[in-house]
Chains A and B, each alone.
With several copies, the nearest count.
Chain A
Amino acid sequence: MSVAIAPAVVVERSVPMAGAVELVVYHPPSAAAVNPGQFFQLAVGAPRTILRRPYSAAWSDAASGRVGFIFNVVGAGSAWLSQRDEGSELDLLGPLGRGFELDGDRPAVCIAGGLGIAVFLGVVQALVARGRKVTMLQGARMSAQLLPADRLPGADVRTATDDGSRGHHGSVVDLISSHFPPTFTGERQGGGIDLFACGPTPMLQSMIGLAQRHAVPLSSIQVALETPMGCGVGTCLGCAAPRREGGYLLTCQDGPCVRADRIDWDRMEDQFHG
């Protein structure tokens, strides 16, 4: 495996949008190895914590040897991470898991809820580099929490906010509807679009429900799953996600990016507490 366990140096810390932190680390081997959608297990040194924390590479740049992470502070681990100054070390394990399958020529529609946007900096860039038409649907609670569109060059960015302060007033999932019927009706088995989704499990579920109502084939949808992670490498079996044919797949090994038809969405649960 090309998985590294390595101390990387934080070379930049900034606030890409309200409530989020962006840490840029310098680690050329990782920067060269990442596929969009893959993640790293970041060691955290907060009191009483012990497990690493899973974070998607928001973007990576082989040329400059940099990898970016974008996250919000939700608990002790992310709080600790948010305080890493420039120059401090960050212990990376990764890149891990499977990224998105980005090849193809159908129009790509990306949909992100909340911090789910993080992973799309790299995804959009890679899709655009492949010459694909990219629409980025981004949802947030309020305007200030939207990632500025200039971080997603080449994509047609549409937004939705819960408070209506920018774009569609409501769920980002509503924005897909306009992409669904014309494209899929009549040519259900392909043709259409490729959908890439990342966000809270309830958002993914409502999106899946909508897709099913529009008879969109779930195999044309790729989702980035989020489950708790122990190891991130397949040894703890802690990151189970219900598989359509029964049993479980491992988010860290079989995912985090999987085709939506591999999941039993009825058994799928939002696994996060707190």
Chain B
Amino acid sequence: MAERLDLTVDLGRGLRLRSPVLVASGTFGYGFDAPQVDRIALGAIVTKGTTLRPREGNAPNRIAETPSGMLNAIGLQNPGVDHVARVYAPVWASWNVPVIVNVAGDAIDEYVAVAERLDSVPGIAGLELNISCPNVANGLQFGVDPDQAAKLTSAVRAVTRLTLIVKLTPNVTDVVAIARAVEDAGADAVSAINTYVGMAIDVRRRRPVLSRESGGLSGPAIKPLALHAVWQVAQAVRIPVIGIGGIMTPGDALEFLLAGAVAVQLGTVNYIRPQAAHEVHEGIAVYLQEHGLRNLRELPIRSASVLTHA
């Protein structure tokens, strides 16, 4: 039975994954640190958000646990694109798993410069544009405005032949408008979603827990919200949608695949159960078999109503 299952995913522009289970940006470093994970079985590794110049990141506290979730305000600590291209990419080129670099910046020029630097580098399989980081100054600006998002996407599209995924922020009134804008601007795929802006207060000391006051909420707490975002986006765009948000189990991943995602990224769960990606992959395979399906394209369901809210 098993060998007949097709769990591959096509993200466009030649990027084909052997599994629909990826690890999400910021939760797997640059692929070197996670213990006991058999990288080869992953659909892809998405790296930590990478900027033009190295960044130190925010002062502590950077993280806080919340009910079934966590807040983070790391502030894009990263060694800069040059280090990534020179030191990491050559190693990745020897790995048998696609590595997608998550790209961040404060201005369109900066994104473009990072994309240019990475375009012809062996070992890099694609770019994921983080237009939605809530933890740096101006981080959200591109992600909440369709025009800005489109402008940024076009600018990067113009300088790269790599598969270009745009990662959406959920901190908007209408995520569909942004998704359509980046689709029209040339994105090969969208990933949804990044974290939700949240906060925790240290009651004893009477101050915000995080040094930046607010941070991004991830983990199972956000799963129902992320799933709804994916459900809406998947019915509105023709490019592949990668589902992200609170996935811990095969059942969680299947919710996203049924909602219309072609693949999923696992984030926070990597901190808790590093073996989760493999369990999720296996669980999806078992589900397909039990339901007599042979590939992931048969999974999605559709809304019964035209308007999701009607």
Interface residues of A (CB under 8 A from B): 1, 3-5, 43, 48-52, 93, 227-228, 230-242, 246-248, 253, 267, 269, 271, 273-274
Contacts and interface: CB of A to CB of B under 8 A. Distances in A.
Nearest to B272: A52
B205 A273 contact: yes
Contact of B36 (A4, A50, A242, A274): A4
Interface in B261-281: 268, 270-275
Output the residue of B27, B65, B220, B274 with the most chain A CB within 10 A. Answer: B65
Q: Is the interface of B mostly helix, strand, loop or mixed?
A: loop
A230 B33 CA distance: 13
Interface residues of B, number: 40
Q: Is the interface of A mostly helix, strand, loop or mixed?
A: loop
A175 to B, nearest CB: 28
Contact of B57 (A50, A51, A237, A269): A237
B271 A51 contact: yes
Contacts of A1: 35-36
A232 B35 CA distance: 10
Contacts of B26: 235-237
Interface in B158-216: 202-205, 209
A50 B272 contact: yes
B65 A51 contact: yes
A273 B209 contact: yes
B62 A93 contact: no
Contacts of A239: 62-63
Given A240-B57, A273-B202, A5 B35 contact: yes
Contact of A235 (B33, B36, B56, B60): B33
B52 interface: no
B271 A271 contact: no
Nearest to B28: A235
B274 A5 contact: yes
A228 B63 contact: yes
Best-buried of B63, B68, B77 by chain A (most CB within 10 Å) = B63
